[in-house]
Amino acid sequence: MCLCVPLPQPPPSQVAVVSGGGADDQDLSNLKVKVRSEAVQRPAKSLGRRTQVKVLRPPAGSTAEDKENELPAGLNKKRLVALLKAFGEYPAKYRMFVWRSLLCLPENYAAYSSLTDKGLHSAYLALNDKYPIKSHKLQRGLQRVLSAFAHWAAIFGEVEYLPLVAFPFVKLFQNNPMLCFEVVATVIVNWGQHWFEYFPNPPLNILSMAENVLAHHDKELLQHLVDCGITSQLYVWPLLETLFSEVLTRDEWLRVFDNIFSNHPSFLLMTCVAYITCCREPLLLCSQKQDFEVTPSHFVRRQAKEEAYYAQQELLQKAEEQRRNILAQEEEKLTQQRAKLAAMKRELKVKELQLLDETKRRFLKHQQDLRASQVQRLDQEISRKIDLRERETAAAVQDLEVRQMELEAQRRRLEQVTNSLHSCSFLSPSLLLLIHFSLPSSLSL
């Protein structure tokens, strides 16, 4: 079986129908273009109007090379290739758009829907048992795309490596299964068109071509492989049937297919040979056939892992030394900081003692001032008492003097009375007694 099996008829082709304004209109720039998806029909005749079909002819100065370089959406292949050579890859933001233009995808949704409407193909009902995928979305997407291929051509229901070919594109175009189907179909038709000539065996003709290219570029490596009994089915075919998806990272795989889609289909085969020559050192170290049964990527990965391990150990050692230096610096800074803190504590202690001493002095002075004020108040009170005593004494003395004067006056008056009495002796004793009792006691004495 091969791809020459009759395929389902595609939907009717799309044609551009140009409607002219009148019989005398010769300027095609004012014509309106209508795109129809149904079958081509002859337009009905109308009175006074005539339908014209625009014949698309290449420009007078165009060549076959210019046609080949012109891509849909106004892109130019030469410019894209120059951009690829300059940067090594297409911009990630525009990669899908560039791929669609390079592959000239028809985006025939009707044809794809006619295949998916048939449901899952019986060959891929148990796909998850053979190829378990954690993501259910990817698993269902891969099932739908593979079933569409099996409905498109019966051979794809028997190709065991088709899931390996389709999976990276399913993962890349998981949000647009139609584009995924068309990309995989384009890859198979253009880059894998001779893979099925020896089906179900590997494409021996393609593998022989790879051996010839390897013999031209690295005879020593090819002779070593032949001496070890290793054929291209072991070191070339695993790369082709997986499209490098098992030996490259995602970014490397995208860059590789940027170049594959931008070059001749033979570039894929040259890429396989180039990868083998890049792995020549680990391959030359192998001498047993079972050593070659592991793909060269494992040697590269192991070597890369070892290099990464040693590089990581070196980085860790440098990091450890840096950490130790940083730790020593931090310890020195900590010691200096502790010394500064101790000095600050001592200074604070001295200031605290000085403050306490000053507070104590202020307190004692306050107590002294308080006692001095109390003594002053007592002195004032004493002075006041003394003044009061002196005033009272002075008043008493004055009173005594007044009393003395009064007594003196009374004494004088008494003396006068006495003298008068002596002079009047004729007075009777009773009268003298009366006078005596009428005088004050002080005078009578």
102: exposed, middle or buried (Cβ count in 10 Å: 0-12, 13-18, 19+) = buried
Query: Measured between alpha carbons, how far is 53 from 57 in angstroms, rounded to an integer?
Result: 12
Of the candidates 150, 126, 132, 140, the one whose C-alpha atom is nearest the C-alpha of residue 171 is: 140
Of the candidates 250, 315, 236, the one whose C-alpha atom is nearest the C-alpha of residue 283 is: 236
pLDDT at position 305: 60
pLDDT at position 110: 92
Rg (CA), the chain: 63
7 secondary structure, DSSP code? P
Looking at the DSSP bridge assignments, the partners of residue 32 are 19
Query: Measured between alpha carbons, how far is 160 from 155 in angstroms, rounded to an integer?
Result: 10
Query: Measured between alpha carbons, how far is 303 from 309 in angstroms, rounded to an integer?
Result: 10
Residue-level pLDDT, tens digit, the chain, 445 residues: 333 344 444 444 343 344 444 444 444 334 343 434 444 344 344 444 444 444 445 455 556 556 666 677 677 888 888 888 999 899 999 899 999 889 888 889 999 999 999 999 989 988 888 888 888 888 899 999 999 999 999 999 999 999 999 999 999 998 899 999 999 999 999 998 899 888 889 999 999 999 999 999 989 998 988 888 888 888 889 999 999 988 888 999 999 999 999 999 899 999 999 999 998 888 888 877 777 665 554 555 555 666 777 788 888 888 888 999 999 999 999 999 999 999 999 999 999 999 999 998 899 999 889 988 999 999 899 988 898 888 888 888 888 888 888 888 888 888 888 877 777 655 556 655 665 556 555 444 4
Tokens of 283: 């391959």
* Helical residues (DSSP H) of 192-295, grouped into ranges: 204-217, 219-227, 232-235, 237-242, 250-262, 267-278, 280-284, 289-292
Tokens of 67: 């046609």
pTM reported for the whole predicted model: 0.54
Cβ atoms within 10 Å, residue 419 = 10
pLDDT at position 391: 87
